[in-house]
Amino acid sequence: MGLFTKLLSSPMKKNLRKYIEFLSTGSNEEMGQLLAWATIAREVMIDAEDAFEILDGEAPFMYTVQTERTIAAVTQILPASAEFQREAQSHAYGAPLLGGFAVWKMTIYCLMGKKGELLDAEGFTLGRKIWKELSRGVPYAEDNLKMIDEMFGGYDLMIDEWHYENCTYIPEMFNSNR
């Protein structure tokens, strides 16, 4: 078992590759808009903060799923997705917010593994490709966040300093520029 075990199913890897292809067709400015919405989605999902700490792991090539708590933290975003989608669709900004949520959902899929096993090398590589595409939008993320605030600030969507400080966040584990 270990590193050579197929941790991600073939259909999931196919979906991740399609997602990367989809991202590669977007402009840098569109990636900035997606980063802005991903920042809002991340704030909404902050209850799963342990999962975000895992994404900032120091040594991704040596990362193993150590405990049941770690597995729960990484995967707790996924079961909440149906409830989150229903809630988001009831708002004027629902569709783009779901796009932001998809960033995190696909990122978490890249980390799926079994307790005590190394990360699937292909999953890690796919995660890095996702964030390489998204990182093209870093120069545009803050301007897009301002636009979102102007368009939807009158709704129950509150953009604050936290969003501006975090709109260029790239998980350390998938940051190819480090």
9-62 per-position pLDDT tens digit: 677 788 899 999 999 999 999 999 999 999 988 877 664 455 555 565 544 444
Instruction: Tell me how far apart the alpha carbons of residues 137 and 127 are, in angstroms, rounded to a whole number.
Output: 16
Confidence at residue 109, expressed as pLDDT on a 0 to 100 scale: 79
Confidence at residue 154, expressed as pLDDT on a 0 to 100 scale: 66
Query: Which of 2-11, 12-21, 96-105, 148-157 is least confident?
Result: 2-11
Give the mean model confidence (pLDDT) for residues 88-96: 73
Amino acid at site 65: V
Whether 126 and 111 have beta carbons less than 8 Å apart is answered as: no
What does the pLDDT look like over 122-135, one tens digit per residue?
888 899 999 999 99
Q: Phi and psi at residue 168, in whole multiples of 5°? A: -110, 15
Q: Which residues pair with 115 in a beta bridge?
A: 65
Query: Which of 25-34, 46-55, 136-145, 156-165 is least confident?
Result: 46-55
Confidence at residue 4, expressed as pLDDT on a 0 to 100 scale: 33
Q: Which residue has the tokens 């096993």?
A: 117
- Our CA dihedral for 158, 161, 162, 163, rounded to 10 degrees, sits at 60
| Among 39, 31, 28, 20, CA closest to 169 | 39
| 64 DSSP assignment | B
Question: Is pLDDT of 102 > 70?
Answer: yes
Q: Which residues pair with 68 in a beta bridge?
A: none
Question: Is pLDDT of 114 > 60?
Answer: no
pLDDT band at 71 (very low <50, low <70, confident <90, very high): very low
| 47 DSSP assignment | G
Give the mean model confidence (pLDDT) for residues 144-164: 84
Confidence at residue 65, expressed as pLDDT on a 0 to 100 scale: 46
Write down the mean pLDDT value for the chain: 75
Give the mean model confidence (pLDDT) for residues 109-115: 66
- The sign of the dihedral angle between the CA atoms of 54, 16, 106, 157 is positive
More confident residue, 67 or 171: 171
Distances (CA, A) of 110 to 70, 93, 98, 127, 130: 15, 27, 18, 5, 10
Confidence at residue 118, expressed as pLDDT on a 0 to 100 scale: 53
